[in-house]
Amino acid sequence: MGHQGKTAKLKTFFMLFIVQLFLVIILFLLYNHVNHSASSNEFSYTNIHQEQASHTKIILVWTWPFGTKFPLNKCPSYTDISGCFYTANRTLYSSADAIVMHHRNVMYSRKQLPQIARPPNQYWIWFNLEPPSYSSNLHFMDNLINLTMSYRADSDIFSPYGWLEPNQREENFTIPPKTKLVAWAISKWKPHSNRVRYYKKLKKFLPVDIYGRQHLSLPRKEYEKILSKYKFYLAFENSIHEDYITEKLWKNALKSGCVPVVLGPSRENYERFIPKDSFLHVDDFSTPEELAKYILKLDNDEKAYQQYFTWRSRLHPFADTNWQTHYCRVCKALKEAPAHKTISKLGAWYK
């Protein structure tokens, strides 16, 4: 009996050992499967198969613009990000094909730029939507940048605040009902700026409703609803630089169905992007008083006013840009980028 009892115990021990070993193998296989899925997911959700991952261009978003995060690898249909993977994970710096640096986030110190050795053949892309007047220390970027991305039409990656698109067919545009004359929304009120000084002269001859800080309220969700009631909108830029034409024109004026009165670069510069009969330019008038007289004249001549909307039968404005709109342009440009290009003095161009 004693011998049989020992044999039974050994059998039981052996069976328990086999079961435990079997469980360990199953757990090990499950762990490998989960790890494999997690690593391949990084590429699979951009529709890139694992075996193609080595050919994928990794684009590193070095800093979130103004700290604003947005979904990566989810881009508008008019952009092509096939073969690219966007990430904000700096541990991928050494394997990144390109890094995108938002100037306003790195302009205060060179220490905000990558501090470790730059991998061979890695592109550094400089991104900025602010004008030169608000872009300090451009010299930090000298001999570092390979591609530029900005509102400038001569950037390597042209990324404007808005643009015009052709209508699918010619159509009649219905001008929104107008109950008010002139509006202006302003966030940075600087008494000695060109635009504020011009406004102070203009208001002597023309009533203007002002929205923004310390003025009338203009909730972001009600921009179009409120501004569309006005016949004219003062699209006055805070700085005057080539191609610096912002949402003041595209969103506040054109998207809202107002006739823009612009103060910015030259009329010729505006006409590169919008029809010449779609706006008024302050330079068209010798004085603010003359501009005021013309606006009041159009207010009393409906037929003449409507002529500023004839272009809308052929075109419509696109003004719903966001950070994705801009960053998603990088992929195509990177795939088409020249092998060797470095910008020696960024400030000599961006002025």
Which amino acids are annotated catalytic?
A: 130
Q: Are 211 and 218 in contact (CB under 8 A)?
A: yes
Q: Within the chain, what is the greatest distance between any pair of CA atoms?
A: 120
Quickly list DSSP for 48-116.
--GGGGGGPEEEEE-S-GGG----SS---TTS--TTEEEE--GGGGGG-SEEEEEHHHHTT-GGGS--S
208-216 contact pairs (CB < 8 A, 24+)? 208/182, 208/183, 208/184, 208/234, 209/180, 209/182, 209/183, 209/184, 210/183, 210/184, 210/185, 210/186, 211/183, 211/184, 211/185, 211/186, 212/185, 212/186, 212/187, 213/186, 213/187, 213/189, 214/189, 215/186
C-beta atoms surrounding 86 within 10 Å:
22
How far apart CA 148 and CA 224 sit, in angstroms, is 32
Closest to 150 (Cα-Cα) out of 337, 340, 333: 333
What beta strand segments (E) does 146-302 contain? 147-150, 157-158, 163-166, 180-186, 209-212, 230-236, 259-263, 280-281
290 three-class SS: helix
Identify the DSSP state of 255: I
